[in-house]
């Protein structure tokens, strides 16, 4: 979906000739809804308040109702959206704007007349409105619905914040579009082409390793997972290197373009929706688009670990032993625990460049969905790195929950024939945590530190298991649609943009 043009408007909202005008309401002291702000004339404000009372609206957060525009307003319709009884924050404003644009339906011009008193509020309004207005751009027959061409934000001159919100929303659009693409159209090679096209014109270098180069480089995880498919795997490195950068962040994304489970075949019902198993790679691609567009002051490298996990005569078998890039061997006991294998290659490759911080993102375990549901991402890793990620997520209004990596679970990954097994057989305990412990094994040491098992010598690392929030199987809410969400994209953009010298210093305390 193409993003609409974002503009500002400092005149009264009555004068905006648009299809839908978004106006906020809150619960009044007398329990009747109150129109927020002086965005409309007195008569139009009274007209809308009477409409809200007649319809029984309370001003609850995210409550959105479409009504005809009052007589003195140039808009065709007005969307009354609840802002809730509490103090308005960028997060609640983002949710309200998203609820309103979801209610608007197919229109060409939406105006937002919500309180945008500072840059954070202005950016939140743009993000929420654009993310809530996202429409699936899939293979459907053409309709006569108009394209959303213009988003007007009323009452602000914060142009930088408006454009930042638009850039970030467009990057989330990229993630959602990629995940919505049918798996017969999106496979490692075409994924690479899509991302290359999306990043065209930005200061990002793109390096692609095909199956032959992966073999030469010893990337046994990606090759092993992909060897059962007729569509070979890829490892893509996206490099953003601004002049004068004082820090370097590595992002590693799981990109299983379809996950059948391999020879450890999933049940038919569990296979539906497995095109979303590349969301981690899509997420870090979206982050790269945003940080390069916003001229982030730090260097960022994204590693897209792309493979299609299929069963065939050439597929890897339970019991096979593969060699990960860097030399560590893995006994593959379950071919449906494939994401951690491709990430192992990506984590080691990222470690070889000695970044200040590594964050991997993956729809990794069903256990994460069971433990945390569909709104929270599981966050694991060392304390300093997870603290920075959690702070970035909070500022973005995204939900993460920090989980432990209990050392006593590590012994379940012991193998008689390899350095480590990819699953703990005979136990379903702590599946999300066991996967995190596996990944930790492939994070390398800081530059100048010995390559041993001392966690304090490791490059600071955080792991985001987004198996739950990556796809919303319930009803849409706020700015979150049903289906692919783009969860944690904005959090990681915030992480990169906030990575200054103090943040880097905090990682080595």
Give binding residues for Mn(2+) as ranges: 254, 259, 277, 336, 338
Residue the block writes with tokens 């100048």: 448
Residues 6+ apart with CB under 8 A from 185: none
Q: Which tokens in the block code for residue 447?
A: 């530059």
Strand partners of residue 236 = 208, 304
CA distances from 21 to 15, 46, 96, 138 (A): 11, 16, 13, 28
Query: Rounded distance, CA 370 to CA 364, Å?
Result: 12
Q: Which tokens in the block code for residue 21?
A: 């005008």
Query: What is the end-to-end Cα distance of the chain in Å, rounded?
Result: 44
Catalytic residue list contains 266: yes
Quickly list H helices, 59-187.
Answer: 90-104, 119-132, 159-180
User: Residues annotated as binding site?
Assistant: 254, 259, 277, 336, 338
Distance of alpha carbon 380 from alpha carbon 360, whole angstroms: 10
**How distant, in Å, are the alpha carbons of 55, 142, 401 from that of 146?**
28, 11, 40
Residue of 58, 135, 239, 266 marked catalytic: 266
The token pair that represents 420 in the structure block: 């480590």
Residue 228, number of CB atoms within 10 A of its CB: 22
219, 149 Cβ separation under 8 angstroms: no
Q: Are 304 and 188 in contact (CB under 8 A)?
A: no
CA-based nearest residue to 129, from 257, 6, 261, 268: 6
Instruction: Calculate the dihedral angle through the C-alpha atoms of 289, 295, 301, 306, rounding to the nearest 10 degrees.
Output: 0
The structure tokens 């969400």 sit at 485
Query: Which residues, at least 6 apart from 193, have a Cβ–Cβ distance to it below 8 Å?
Result: none
Identify whether the C-beta of residue 94 lies closer than 8 Å to the C-beta of residue 478.
yes
Q: Give CA 388 to chain center in angstroms.
A: 17
Return the SS3 of 336: coil
Annotated catalytic residue within 49, 158, 289, 340 = 340
Catalytic amino acids?
266, 340
């Amino acid at each position: 979906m193409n993003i609409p043009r974002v503009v500002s408007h400092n005149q009264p909202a009555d004068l905006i000739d648009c299809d839908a005008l978004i106006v906020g309401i809150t619960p009044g002291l007398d329990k009747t809804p109150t129109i927020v702000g002086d965005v409309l004339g007195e008569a139009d404000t009274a007209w809308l308040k009477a409409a809200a009372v007649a319809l029984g609206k309370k001003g609850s957060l995210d409550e959105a109702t479409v009504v005809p525009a009052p007589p003195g307003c140039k808009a065709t319709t007005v969307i009354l959206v609840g802002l809730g009884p509490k103090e308005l924050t960028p997060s609640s404003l983002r949710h309200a704007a998203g609820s309103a644009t979801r209610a608007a339906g197919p229109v060409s011009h939406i105006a937002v007349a919500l309180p945008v008193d500072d840059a954070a509020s202005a950016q939140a309004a743009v993000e929420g409105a654009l993310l809530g207005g996202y429409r699936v751009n899939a293979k459907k027959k053409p309709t006569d619905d108009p394209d959303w061409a213009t988003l007007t934000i009323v009452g602000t001159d914060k142009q930088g914040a408006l454009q930042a919100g638009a850039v970030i929303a467009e990057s989330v659009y990229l993630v959602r579009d990629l995940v919505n693409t049918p798996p017969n159209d999106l496979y490692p090679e075409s994924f690479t082409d899509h991302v290359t096209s999306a990043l065209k014109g930005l200061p990002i270098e793109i390096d692609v390793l095909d199956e032959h180069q992966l073999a030469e480089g010893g990337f046994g995880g990606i090759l092993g997972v992909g060897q059962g498919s007729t569509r070979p795997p890829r490892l893509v490195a996206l490099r953003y290197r601004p002049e004068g950068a004082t820090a370097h962040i590595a992002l590693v994304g799981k990109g299983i373009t379809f996950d059948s489970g391999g020879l450890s075949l999933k049940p038919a019902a569990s296979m539906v929706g497995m095109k979303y198993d590349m969301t981690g790679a899509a997420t870090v691609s979206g982050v790269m688009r945003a940080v390069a567009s916003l001229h982030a002051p730090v260097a960022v490298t994204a590693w897209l670990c792309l493979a299609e996990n299929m069963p065939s005569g050439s597929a890897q078998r339970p019991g096979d032993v593969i060699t990960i890039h860097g030399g560590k061997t893995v006994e593959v006991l379950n071919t449906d625990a494939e994401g951690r294998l491709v990430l192992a290659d990506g984590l080691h490759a990222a470690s070889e460049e000695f970044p200040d911080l590594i964050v991997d993102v993956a729809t990794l375990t069903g256990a994460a969905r069971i433990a945390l549901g569909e709104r929270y991402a599981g966050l694991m890793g060392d304390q300093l790195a997870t603290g920075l990620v959690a702070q970035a997520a909070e500022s973005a209004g995204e939900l993460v929950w920090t989980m432990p990596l209990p050392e006593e679970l590590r012994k379940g990954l012991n193998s008689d024939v390899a350095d480590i097994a990819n699953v703990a057989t005979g136990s379903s305990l702590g599946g999300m945590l066991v996967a995190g412990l596996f990944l930790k094994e492939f994070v390398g040491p800081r530059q100048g530190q010995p390559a041993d098992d001392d966690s304090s010598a490791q490059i600071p690392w955080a792991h985001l298991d987004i198996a739950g929030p990556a796809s919303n199987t319930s009803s849409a809410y706020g700015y979150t649609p049903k289906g692919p969400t783009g969860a944690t994209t904005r959090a990681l953009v915030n992480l990169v943009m906030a990575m200054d010298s103090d943040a880097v210093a905090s990682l080595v305390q």
